[in-house]
Amino acid sequence: MTPEQVITSTLEANELAYQDKGEGRFFVTLPGTKKLQTNCWLIVAEHALLIEAFVCRQPDENHENVYRYLLRRNAKLYGVHYTIDKTGDLYLVGRISHQAITPDELDRILGQVLEAADGDFNTLLELGFATAIRREWAWRESRGESLANLQPFKQLVDQED
């Protein structure tokens, strides 16, 4: 099987939403719970499969602690690692050789992307966007708006009091 065939059959077997963009490029949507979805590119290059998933935009604050968290987290990740782009947005990236592209390995890599992006999402928001979260909480509270999706960050508001 070609790498493209392995990717297509694995994505379909796992019932993952994806778009085949042609020329060995697949745009995959991984469903999450904390981060509702993680968009991931799978790109078949000349000698390797490239993996790239957007995690969150550049932190507003506390950069040193955000990057310290990501560097420590990199030591525990399988097949991918955190990086930043030229604007400072956070991504997970990886590269595996064509020979390593099997259904099990692809499932393992996509599982790691999802576990990291979804599992680290709230921590990254707490570290890098605490002021914005507090401001949003106060604004919604003043207008009687729902705070349901901000509940995971209630401790940030309680710390301020």
Alpha-carbon distance 61 to 45, whole Å?
A: 36
Distances (CA, A) of 151 to 2, 71, 95: 46, 27, 36
Q: Which domains does the chain have, with CATH numbers?
A: 3-121 (3.30.1460.10)
Q: What is the pTM of this model?
A: 0.91
Query: Is the pLDDT assigned to residue 160 strictly greater than 70?
Result: no
Top pLDDT among 147 and 110 is at: 110
Structure confidence by residue, pLDDT tens digits, 58-81: 999 999 999 999 999 999 999 999
Q: What is the mean pLDDT of the chain?
A: 95
Compute CA distances 19 → 61, 79, 98, 135, 137, whole Å: 35, 22, 20, 37, 36
